[in-house]
């Protein structure tokens, strides 16, 4: 392990769990959206709006918890534009998603003026030091802030909801065959609208984690492509929550590792290290998609198709 230099594996695992939270949250939200048959490419826009909304609320109220709620609200509010356009006006989902990202980036850089260079209130570790100071398990298991545990809990909840509950069954029915779901009497577009808002709230919370914990300050375009990586992770995970968690942690690990290598001065030029997360995302997409076409990769059958009830 000598190429790792002075990198401590315990610290590495502890940091990757925190660094994965934004993409994990956003990817979990998008998983639900896509399981309902909607492809929302506006994750990056919803994350950046959540990052700003969360930052403003946290700074103005002094409460990071309210900040995360504010981030979720901002992300959900932006996602409702997408919901309105695709579910009511039946606009093309790919184009609308892209518009949402462009719009979100613009709105956030407009609204963020005057918030540069401010430090947000800190989000501390959840459990007492006595636990967090234990060797090895301390930093990895007990040393995190509440969002890390919340994101893991959400993974479990979504897995259970999608797999074993009536709501999950309805969401999957709408995503696999909206005609059949409609014939059974479900309001396809209304269910999708709620899923989109949920996805927006999750992406917004993930974005708020970037501006409140990871960076922590406000800069334009703070999410730097995390939303797109979250979209890739959903594909990687074959639309399953636990695999989303694995994907996000793998990705978080790579990000942390390359940052550590930059600091440690590994001799690899900084530029090549900082493109590593994107190249590895592409590589992972290739591995996951190779040789599996159509249904075999687990994509919801009605993904990206709008539904219009003729009667």
Q: Which of 278, 298, 301, 305 binds another protein (CB under 8 A)?
A: 278
- Rounded-to-10 torsion of CA 241, 242, 245, 246: -140
Do the beta carbons of residue 52 and residue 112 sit within 8 Å? yes
Nearer to another protein, 104 or 120 (CB): 104
Give the binding-site size for another protein (rule: CB under 8 A): 49
Segment 62 to 81, residues that bind another protein, using CB under 8 A: 81
Q: Which of 5, 9, 60, 92 binds another protein (CB under 8 A)?
A: 92
Segment 30 to 49, residues that bind another protein, using CB under 8 A: 41
Segment 242 to 271, residues that bind another protein, using CB under 8 A: 269, 271
User: Which long-range contacts link 265-271 to residues 24+ away (Cβ below 8 Å)?
Assistant: 265/5, 266/3, 266/5
d(CA 300, CA 229) in angstroms, rounded, equals 19
Residue in the structure block whose two tokens are 């009497």: 185
DSSP 184: T
Nearer to another protein, 129 or 220 (CB): 220
Q: Which of 18, 20, 74, 85 binds another protein (CB under 8 A)?
A: 85
Nearer to another protein, 107 or 215 (CB): 107
Do the beta carbons of residue 277 and residue 254 sit within 8 Å? yes
d(CA 233, CA 150) in angstroms, rounded, equals 19
285 binds another protein per the rule CB under 8 A:
yes
Q: Which of 5, 106, 242, 295 binds another protein (CB under 8 A)?
A: 106
Residues in the chain: 311
Which range in 1-9, 172-180, 256-264, 287-295 contacts another protein by CB under 8 A? 287-295
Give the other-Cβ count within 10 Å of 226's Cβ. Answer: 27
Residue in the structure block whose two tokens are 């290290």: 273
Do the beta carbons of residue 146 and residue 122 sit within 8 Å? no
Question: Would you tell me which residues interact with another protein (CB under 8 A)?
Answer: 41, 81, 84-85, 89-92, 94-96, 98-99, 102-107, 109-110, 113, 220, 224-225, 228-229, 231-232, 235, 269, 271-272, 274-275, 278-279, 281-282, 285-286, 289-293, 297, 308, 310
């Amino acid at each position: 392990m000598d190429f790792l230099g002075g990198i401590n594996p315990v610290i590495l695992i502890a940091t990757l769990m925190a660094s994965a939270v934004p993409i994990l949250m956003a990817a979990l939200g998008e998983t639900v959206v896509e399981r309902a048959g909607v492809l929302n490419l506006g994750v990056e826009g919803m994350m950046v709006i959540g990052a700003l909304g969360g930052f403003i609320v946290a700074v103005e109220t002094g409460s990071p918890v309210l900040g995360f709620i504010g981030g979720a609200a901002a992300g959900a509010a932006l996602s409702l534009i997408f919901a309105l356009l695709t579910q009511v006006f039946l606009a093309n989902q790919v184009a609308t998603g892209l518009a949402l990202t462009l719009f979100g980036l613009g709105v956030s850089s407009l609204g963020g003026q005057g918030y540069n260079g401010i430090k947000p209130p800190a989000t501390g570790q959840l459990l007492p030091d006595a636990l967090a100071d234990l060797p090895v398990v301390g930093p990895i298991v007990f040393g995190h802030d509440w969002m890390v545990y919340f994101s893991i809990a959400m993974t479990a909840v979504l897995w259970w909801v999608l797999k074993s509950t009536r709501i999950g069954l309805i969401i999957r029915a709408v995503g696999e065959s909206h005609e059949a779901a409609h014939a059974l009497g479900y309001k396809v577009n209304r269910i999708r609208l709620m899923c989109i808002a949920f996805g927006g709230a999750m992406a917004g919370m993930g974005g708020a984690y970037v501006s409140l914990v990871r960076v922590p300050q406000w800069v334009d375009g703070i999410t730097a492509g995390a939303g797109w990586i979250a979209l890739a992770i959903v594909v990687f995970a074959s639309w399953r929550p636990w695999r989303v968690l694995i994907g996000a942690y793998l990705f978080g690990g790579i990000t942390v590792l390359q940052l550590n290598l930059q600091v440690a001065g590994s001799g690899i030029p900084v530029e090549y290290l900082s493109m590593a997360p994107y190249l590895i995302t592409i590589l992972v997409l290739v591995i996951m998609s190779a040789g599996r076409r159509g249904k075999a990769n687990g994509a919801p059958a009605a993904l990206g198709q709008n539904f219009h009830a003729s009667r």
